[in-house]
Amino acid sequence: MEGLAMLRQLIGQLQELLELYGSHPSSLVLPSPSLSPLPHPLHLLQPLPPPPPPPPPLLSQFHSHHQRQQQQRQHHSWCVLNVDDGSADDYYSLIMAAGKSGNFKMLEPCKPPHAKKPRKERTRGKLSGTTNTAEIMEQQIWKDFPEDLFEAVIARLPIATFFRFRSVCRKWNSLLDSQSFSQHCAQVPQGNPWFYTITHENVNSGAIYDPSSKKWHHPTISSLPNKMIVLPVASAGGLVCFLDIGHRNFYVCNPLTQSFKELPARSVKVWSRVAVGMTLNGNSTCGGYKILWVGCDGEFEVYDSLKNSWTRPGHMPSSIKLPLSLNFRSQAVSIDGTLYFMRSDPEGIVSYDMVNGVWKQYIIPAPLHLTDHTLAECGGRIMLVGLLTKNAATCVCIWELQKMTLLWKEVDRMPNIWCLEFYGKHVRMTCLGNRGLLMLSLRSRQMNRLVTYDVSNREWLKVPGCVVPRGRKRQWIACGTAFHPCLTAIA
């Protein structure tokens, strides 16, 4: 039964193709299932009447019939369904596969398709999705293609693929230095951020997670100097800002390329813990970026990448209550050039406008029973992510700030089934990322669960465990940040 449905589908597709080419189907051979099993002359492309289920032998009938018809078709530019290369079984399996994907590949004119697909392609199940791949394999077409437009295509490859294809030739290996390539990259809309994480097992280098392909990458050559323990504290425009573990020196790098810079020393020689925020001046790192650090005593400084220097733009206004009990586990959030930091005592948010140099304070009561909370943002809305623990039950909750009332309103929760795993256990949560897509690392004594949350479509997804290549043990995520993978961001 299924075989016939697929045969009909095949015939339908052939009809379409014939319309496209406007050729006459005069010698195309197809069996009509209503006829008896004896070989028969054809009807061509008549809409099949609802038939009784044909016995499989019909296909082998077709096969032998087809062979007889072969000579008549020599001159025709169409060579569809050349089953001579294989047996009828192969042909049948071809139809079965095509039917299953519901998307039979468009056949090339003047070239008989292989009745038996090469095994690699078959096992990869490539019939659906990237269609026409077989057809685009014409080299001649590309010989005269202008280089500039080559770059337009390469800029649209997935990041990992781009790095793989750097081994194609010298030109492709040096694309990162090309101005025109950078311009093409700037035209490609940004997708999901990636996550740069530091694992407990390997604090010297990062493990990078790509949520689009759900793969962990372990770059062989770290962008950071060895023998230094640095923690990612902020990111903007594809660059990640690191602070060493003693809170002294800042470093900026693009985790994908070797672009790296150690920032000049700060003028304030106090090495207590600081909160850090990072903003871009324009749309990309070409326009420069700024990094702000602020301490609990109200001291702050701003680094300007264009001048490569720190400046102290003033003092915090007296209206802002000191000391600032900054929430250091929360990343700063940046919206339109203003940075937002979480504080407690009083609970709320302090913001700094990087363009105009103005500090503001917002008193916002925190939800009850809240722990491990961090700020995030999505489309200009300020969100709060945190753990709600009531009795023995723990749940991850998402709140949105109501700007009119300055109150947090709960808008989402992690699916209950996942929360059950933490029932009765002491859980800590780290939030990686602060915009759009967040990665949550939930740790209890024996396990480390990783989850991503997409704020705009409220989607919770599990993250595969982080395992080094040729390793088997899952790594524990200590901390990290999200960053937008950008090939052309320069520190």
Partner 1 sequence: MKFCAVKQYFDDENNNNITSGASTTMIPLPNVESHPLAILITYCKKHLKIKANNADNKKETEKEMEQYEQELLKKVMPQELTELILAANYLNFKEALDFFCRAVASAIQNKSIEFVRKFFGLESDFELGEEEKLREEFAWSFEGVDED
Which of 35/107 has CB closer to partner 1?
A: 107
Cβ neighbours around 418 below 10 Å, total: 16
- CA-nearest of 228, 323, 337, 235 to 282 is 337
Residue closer to partner 1 by CB (options 197, 281) is 197
105 contacts 132 by C-beta, under 8 angstroms: yes
Which residue, 104 or 399, has its beta carbon nearer to partner 1?
104
Q: Residue 80 Cβ, how far from partner 1 at the closest point, in Å?
A: 16
C-beta of 153 vs 363, nearer to partner 1: 153
- Minimum CB separation of residue 280 from partner 1 in Å reads 23
Q: How far is the CB of 457 from partner 1 (least distance, A)?
A: 9
- Which two structure tokens, joined as six digits, stand for 308? 């490569």
Q: Provide the minimum distance between the beta carbon of 73 and partner 1 in the complex, in angstroms, as a whole number.
A: 22
Contact 208, 255 (CB under 8 A): yes
Residues in a beta bridge with 228: none
Minimum distance of partner 1 from residue 152's CB (angstroms): 5
Q: Which residues bind partner 1 (CB under 8 A)?
A: 20, 103, 106, 120, 124, 126, 130-133, 135-143, 145-146, 149-150, 152-158, 160-173, 187-188, 215, 217-221, 469
Cβ 327 vs Cβ 373: under 8 Å: yes
* Shortest Å distance, C-beta 90 to partner 1: 21
Cβ closest to partner 1, residue 20 vs residue 355: 20
* Single-letter amino acid, residue 439: M
**Which whole-number Å values give the CA distances from 61 to 87, 356, 370, in the listed order?**
12, 82, 73
367 CB burial (10 A radius; 0-12, 13-18, 19+): middle
With respect to partner 1, which residue has the nearer C-beta, 130 or 283? 130
Residue 54: CB atoms within 10 A of its CB come to: 19
220 or 319: whose CB is closer to partner 1?
Answer: 220
Shortest distance in whole angstroms from residue 474 CB to partner 1:
17
Contact 325, 344 (CB under 8 A): yes
| Nearest-angstrom CA–CA distance, 87 and 5 | 21
